[in-house]
Amino acid sequence: MQTPNTLGIKQLTDIDIREIVPFINWKSFFNVWKMSGKYDEIGNISDETAWLNQFPENERAKANEALKLFQDAQEMLGRFSAEKIIRANAIFGIFSAYSDGNDIIIQNGEQKTIIPTLRQQHPSNDGFCYSLADFLREKHDFIGVFACTILGADEFSAQFEQENDVYHALLVSSLADRLAEATSEWLHFQVRKSYWAYNSDEVLDVERILKNQYHGIRPAVGYPSLPDQSIIFDLNSILKLDENGIKLTENGAMSPASSVCGLYFSHPKSKYFIVGKIDETQLADYASRRGKTIEEMRKWLGF
């Protein structure tokens, strides 16, 4: 267990977009535009003509369309940075924590926050049924809480919508979503390397980072291993998301939508997993630990 270099909350505002851009996952970007599978490495090409010519003739028009989209995205990213159109903010905290059964206990000074977790009903490929609480020691450990957001993109996209320029409106919003994820990837690297420093000798290799080939995980609220969207209100009580420009709806949605919020685990065996469908017994137990009715909990979990 590595004692973090930095404990407590740290806020980063107006992060240089140029630092974040290398962490963009272009595969996910092209998925939004329904151009998946063949253009993931487009950000690494040095010879556009040679890249296009590698495709069969009947696929070249689609590849050229992808290349044009990528070029437009690069131009828009340049505008974001040069004209200060958007701002990237992040806030995170590293705290003492421990597990108690399937609950995560976070200690922030005098504030104690309990995060109940769900356990898989059916084992993963390695034969285990995981809960996020498994990745914390029972007596003394550490956990991170984070949130990242992109500000200004909604307003800029709306300007294009008013001009009936649907293409550029979608380009702005899709890039903002990717930048939010890229900011969370960039921040996680900084935490692993410097702030928590449990992997201080990690060498920056964006290609490997985007394939999650590093030590530790950062499950986000609403994602498969942390599916209860109401957990975001508990994390908000720690981070005060509104101070970072993030507002929460009564349903736990974040505004701007290009925002990410979740947890950091450093355990060497921590891994991403899908909780999946749970039975009524676990649902009742979880609802009790969350202090909600079964029907309320069913709504938050989406089943």
pLDDT, tens digit, 9 for 90 and up, residues 166-203: 999 999 999 999 999 999 999 999 999 999 999 999 99
For residue range 23-35, list pLDDT tens digits in order: 999 989 999 998 8
Burial 119-144 (b: 16+ CB within 10 A, else e): bbeeeeeeeeebbbbbbbeeeebbbb
Instruction: Return the pLDDT at 194.
Output: 95
C-alpha span between 201 and 107 (Å, rounded)? 28
* Residue with the two structure tokens 């609480």: 133
C-alpha span between 191 and 4 (Å, rounded)? 9
Provide Rg for the chain, Cα atoms: 21
Dihedral class, residue 287 (left if φ above 0, else alpha if ψ from -120 to 50, else beta): alpha
Counting every residue written for the chain, the total comes to 303
- List the pLDDT tens digit at each of the 303 positions of the chain: 678 988 999 999 999 999 999 999 998 999 999 887 678 778 778 888 888 888 888 888 888 999 999 999 999 999 999 999 999 999 999 999 999 999 999 999 889 999 999 999 999 888 999 999 999 999 899 999 999 999 999 999 999 999 999 999 999 999 999 999 999 999 999 999 999 999 999 998 988 998 899 999 999 999 999 999 999 999 999 999 998 899 999 999 999 999 999 999 999 999 999 999 999 999 999 999 999 999 999 999 987
For residue range 240-256, list pLDDT tens digits in order: 999 889 999 999 999 99
Residue ranges of domains in the chain, CATH in brackets:
8-14+87-301 (3.10.196.10)
C-alpha span between 26 and 181 (Å, rounded)? 11
